[in-house]
Amino acid sequence: MTTIRATVAAVVDPEIRVITIDELGILRSVEEDPTNGRVVVTITPTYTGCPAMDVIQADIRRALAAAGYLEVEVRTVYTPPWSTDWITDAGRAKLASAGIAPPSPVRHPDPVPLTLTVRCPRCGSPETEQVSRFGSTACKALRRCRSCSEPFDHLKAL
Ligand SMILES: [Zn+2]
| Domains: count for the chain | 2
Identify whether the C-beta of residue 72 lies closer than 8 Å to the C-beta of residue 64: yes
Position with higher pLDDT, 49 vs 20: 20
Domain identity same for 104 and 39:
no
Which of 35, 61, 82 terminates a domain? The answer is 82
Find the 120 Cα to ligand 1 centroid distance in Å: 5
Cα–Cα distance between 154 and 110 in angstroms, integer? 23
Find the 138 Cα to ligand 1 centroid distance in Å: 23
Find the 83 Cα to ligand 1 centroid distance in Å: 26
Cα–Cα distance between 149 and 158 in angstroms, integer? 26
**Position 1 confidence tier, pLDDT thresholds 50, 70, 90:** very low
Which of 82, 105, 135 terminates a domain? The answer is 82
pLDDT in tens, 97-135: 889 888 877 655 555 544 567 889 889 898 999 888 776
**Position 156 confidence tier, pLDDT thresholds 50, 70, 90:** confident
Find the 74 Cα to ligand 1 centroid distance in Å: 40
Domain identity same for 71 and 118:
no
Domain identity same for 92 and 117:
yes
Find the 76 Cα to ligand 1 centroid distance in Å: 38
**Position 87 confidence tier, pLDDT thresholds 50, 70, 90:** very high
Q: Which residues span the domain enclosing 144? A: 87-155
**Whether the predicted model's global pTM rises above the 0.85 cut:** no
Look at residue 107 in the predicted model and tell me its pLDDT. 59
